[in-house]
Amino acid sequence: MATRRATEVVVRALVFTCGWLAIVILAAIAIFLLTNGLRSIDEVGLGTMLTGTSWYPTSDNAQFGFLPLILGSVFVTGVALFVSVPVGIGAAVYLSEFAGRGFKEVAKSVVEFMAAVPSVVYGLIGVAVLIPWVRTTFQLDSGMTALTGGIVLGVMSIPTVLSISEDALHAVPESLRQGSMALGNTRWQTTYKVVVPAASSGIFAAVMLGLGRAIGETMAVLMLTGNAAVMPTSVFESVRTMTGTIAAEMGEVVRKGLHYSALFSVGLVLFAMTFVINLAADLVLERQRKRWRR
Amino acid sequence: MNRVKRARLTEQIAKTVLGLMAVTVLVIAAAVLIYIVSKGYRAINWEFLTTRPVKLGREGGIGPAIGGTVWLVSLTALFTLPVGILAGVYLSEYAARNLLTRSIRLAITNMAGVPSIVYGLFGLAAFVMLANFKVSVLSGALTLTCMTLPVVITATEEALRQVPQDLRHASLALGSTKWRTVRKVVLPASMPGIVTGSILGLARAAGETAPILFTAAVFMSPQLPRSPLDRVMALPYHIYAEVTSVPNWSEDLIWGTALVLVAGISIVSVAAGVWRSIQRRKIRW
């Protein structure tokens, strides 16, 4: 009896520790990024880095301006959303409101497959197919552009946008649809007047999560955007994203040096961005969940 | 044209346009699959799968990369499963409905959204440098563990929630302690969901490159690691390194590598899904 109670206490402690681990890890990530980035924040200054327009980390007079990298990420992500949002939401609406059961089942496994393909493989496909295509179609000197990376990234974030939008549409109570149809609306009228507005916050969350996924994606953009760390002016130019910069340069820096530290600061900015995006998406989703629970 | 006719026409147009978008997704996925298979199948043979790369990977096989990925994923599973399952048990069985639980949930969904390269940075700072595990399988697996944990926790919690309350009450009424109830009744009943969810998460981890970039991966290594403190080759990193830093990389071999990776992930995922549906049929409430 006593041993059983002892086990209970030990297990309880263990279970609670594991339960709280998520918070500990998340906090640890923030702390490690901050402490390792501290040197660059100290020596260069966070404001100077965030507003600096040149990234020359290895020259004698090293410059650590994040703007070219942030803009690079923004350009690539913009293109990606342009691809993933209409296709993802459109397909989700079709699957949820119009598609037959068989088609739905097939589509579900297909989307799961798309989500399971590693980003480095998407990058490889981009290298083989999209880089030559972009170069010849737009008659550029190089096919490694923000557009190239963005298109592939868009395809990669379709599963996120699609499945979360579909969940949101699915959560709309059937009675709303029936009410609308009973009033004489067609299926499409029901869809855009009733179902989509009712699911709008969930669809918004889907777009946010797709955005977060796209900003944080590393390997495909690293292989496809050409990685020129200059201020971009159009999507037909080579860009370097925040993620790509970290991945490309961290292997060659002096550990604990200024450049090393600056890369951690880039990571911190990236972390903060995705944190805010995910938090927003999560709060919206939570509100929607509460709304239909009644 | 009267209103009814116009409404029918709009309905047709809308349905077609939306349907086309859905078909586009299917076509893209099919194209990706067909492309990988058609470019990669030529390289696949026993020698390719077992021997080591020659001439910086332009010739030879990918044996050490396959082995390295298996090492990384196994060690990741070893760390993730116990911790993730216990965390899921906490959320489903022990956690009170309060602000703390809410924050934990928020932290878990947020962890799932942290960019993989940020996990790489964290792994470098925490495991490679601070814990001094160097660039090694251990550091890489710990980094991948942080990434995979949210998947395992969520899968476990969902599976546990599907076990009816009656079973717990019956066990407690028979005098079992809480942990005994969890271990003997709740966990066995929810195993299919937990195992499958975890396998899907681990399969995803096998394809990750960014987290192991500076924590575990090495470009060329003739043999498998002899201890968890050795560096490893890994399939996704091999693809990346060949494409970006080896001039005249062999198309056949790299597409073969991609095919091995995608096929491995898909086969394991599908098998896990099938196993779950078989197990589910056995359990009836």
| Local confidence band at A94 (pLDDT 50, 70, 90 cut-offs) | very high
Residue in B with minimal Cα distance to A220? B240
Residue A141 confidence (pLDDT): 87
B60: alpha, beta or left? (left if phi > 0; alpha if psi -120 to 50)? left
Q: Identify the bridge partners of residue B59 per DSSP, sorted by sequence position.
A: B54
Residues of chain B contacting A3 with CB distance shorter than 8 Å: none
Report the pLDDT averaged over residues B109-120: 94
Contacts of B24 in chain A (CB under 8 A): 87, 91
Q: Do A32 and B126 touch (CB under 8 A)?
A: yes
Average pLDDT, chain A: 91
- Structure tokens belonging to residue A182: 């009973």
Determine the Cα–Cα distance for residues A160 and A144; give it in Å rounded to an integer: 25
pLDDT band at B125 (very low <50, low <70, confident <90, very high): very high
Q: What DSSP character marks residue B232? A: B
Angstrom distances, CA of residue A101 to CA of A4, A178, A211, A213, B15: 51, 19, 30, 29, 16
The shortest C-alpha distance from B223 to chain A (Å) reads 22
Confidence of residue B61 (pLDDT cuts 50, 70, 90): confident
Architecture of the CATH domain B46-282: Orthogonal Bundle (1.10)
Q: Quote the pLDDT of residue A1.
A: 64
Average confidence (pLDDT) over B4-18: 91
Taking the Cβ of residue B26 and every Cβ of chain A, the question of whether any pair is shorter than 8 Å is answered with: yes
Contact state of A19 with B90 under an 8 Å Cβ cutoff: yes
Of A2-6, A214-218, B81-85, least confident by mean pLDDT is: A2-6
Q: A39: closest CA among A29, A28, A49?
A: A49
> Does the pLDDT at position A294 exceed 60?
no
Q: Find out whether B87 and B151 touch, Cβ atoms under 8 Å.
A: no
- CB contact A34 to B (< 8 Å): no
Q: What is the mean pLDDT of chain B?
A: 92
DSSP 3-state of B247: coil
Partners of A196 on chain B (C-beta within 8 Å) are none
Separation between Cα atoms, residue A151 and residue A97, nearest integer Å: 27
Q: Which residue of B has its CA nearest to A127?
A: B243
End-to-end CA distance of chain A: 45
Cα-based distances in Å from B239 to A23, B56, B207, B245:
34, 12, 11, 10
pLDDT category at A7 given cuts 50, 70, 90 is confident
Find the closest chain B residue to A267 by CA distance.
B118
Residues 6+ away with beta carbon under 8 Å from A100: none
Cβ contacts from A onto B, under 8 A: 266
**Amino acid letter at B111?**
M
Q: Which of A225-239, B98-112, B241-255 has the lowest mean pLDDT?
A: A225-239
Residue of B nearest to A30 (CA): B122
Q: How confident is the model at residue B89 (pLDDT cuts 50, 70, 90)?
A: very high
Confidence (pLDDT) at A228 = 82
DSSP B57: G
Residue (of A202, A122, A104) closest to A161 by Cα position: A202
Q: For residues B271 and A252, which has the higher predicted lDDT (pLDDT)?
A: B271
Nearest-angstrom CA–CA distance, B87 and A29: 19
Q: Is B121 on the interface with A (CB under 8 A)?
A: yes
Angle at which helices A67-93 and A242-249 cross, to 10°: 120
From chain A residues 275-294, the ones with a CB under 8 A of any chain B CB are: 275, 277-279, 281-282
- Which pLDDT band holds residue B104 (cuts at 50, 70, 90)? very high
Q: Are B209 and A188 in contact (CB < 8 Å)?
A: no
Interchain CB contact of A210 with B (< 8 Å) = no
Residue A89 pLDDT greater than 60, yes or no:
yes
By C-alpha distance, which of B94, B93, B98, B97 is closest to B163? B93
Reported as a pLDDT band with limits 50, 70 and 90, residue B90 is very high
Q: How far apart are CA B263 and CA A10, in angstroms?
A: 42
Q: What are the tens digits of pLDDT across the range B181-222? A: 999 999 999 998 999 999 999 999 999 999 999 999 888 887
pLDDT in tens, A168-208: 999 899 999 999 999 989 999 999 999 999 999 999 999 99
**Distance in angstroms (rounded) separating the CA atoms of residues B210 and B233:** 14
pLDDT at residue A46, as a whole number: 87
Of B11, B106, B120, the CB nearest to A188: B11
Close Cβ partners of B105 (under 8 Å, ≥ 6 residues apart): B91
* Contact present, A152 and A224 (Cβ < 8 Å): yes
Buried b vs exposed e over B141-161: b needs ≥16 C-beta within 10 Å? bbbbbbbbbbbbbbbbbbbbe
Percent of chain B with pLDDT over 90: 72
CA dist A222 and A212 (Å) reads 17
The pLDDT confidence band at residue A271, using thresholds 50, 70 and 90, is: very high
Which class for A16: exposed (0-12), middle (13-18), buried (19 or more C-beta within 10 A)?
Answer: middle
Amino acid symbol at A139: Q
pLDDT digits (tens, 9 = 90+) for B126-150: 999 999 999 999 999 999 999 999 9
B 53-82 → A contacts, CB under 8 A: none
Q: What is the pLDDT of residue B255?
A: 95
Can you tell me the distance from the alpha carbon of A132 to that of B119, in angstroms, rounded to the nearest whole number?
32
- In the predicted model, what is the mean pLDDT of residues B253-257? 94
Asked if B121's CB is within 8 angstroms of A246's CB, the reply is yes
Instruction: Identify which of A47, A84, A87, A82 has the alpha carbon closest to the alpha carbon of residue A64.
Output: A47
At A30 the pLDDT is: 96
Give mean pLDDT, residues A41-63: 86
B43 DSSP 8-state letter: G
Q: Which of residues 214-233 of A touch B (CB under 8 A)?
A: 215-219, 222-223
Nearest to A40 by CA among A248, A212, A253, A276: A253
B22 inside 8 A of chain A by CB: yes
Interface test with B, best of A7, A14, A32 (most B CBs within 10 A): A32
pLDDT band at B1 (very low <50, low <70, confident <90, very high): low
**Residue B219, token pair as written in the block:** 């470009």
Interface test with A, best of B122, B219, B250 (most A CBs within 10 A): B122
Q: Taking CB atoms and an 8 Å limit, are A119 and B254 in contact across chains?
A: no
What single letter denotes the amino acid at residue A274? T
Contact criterion met (CB below 8 Å) for B200 and B129: no
Please check whether residue B118 is in contact with residue A247, taking contact to mean a CB–CB distance below 8 angstroms: no
Token output for B227: 């201890």
Each residue's pLDDT tens digit, A95-132: 999 998 999 999 999 999 999 999 999 999 999 999 99
Per residue in A144-169, pLDDT (tens digit) is 999 999 999 999 999 999 999 999 99
What fold does the segment set A55-293 form as a domain? MetI-like fold (1.10.3720)
Burial, B11: exposed, middle or buried (Cβ in 10 Å; 0-12, 13-18, 19+)?
middle
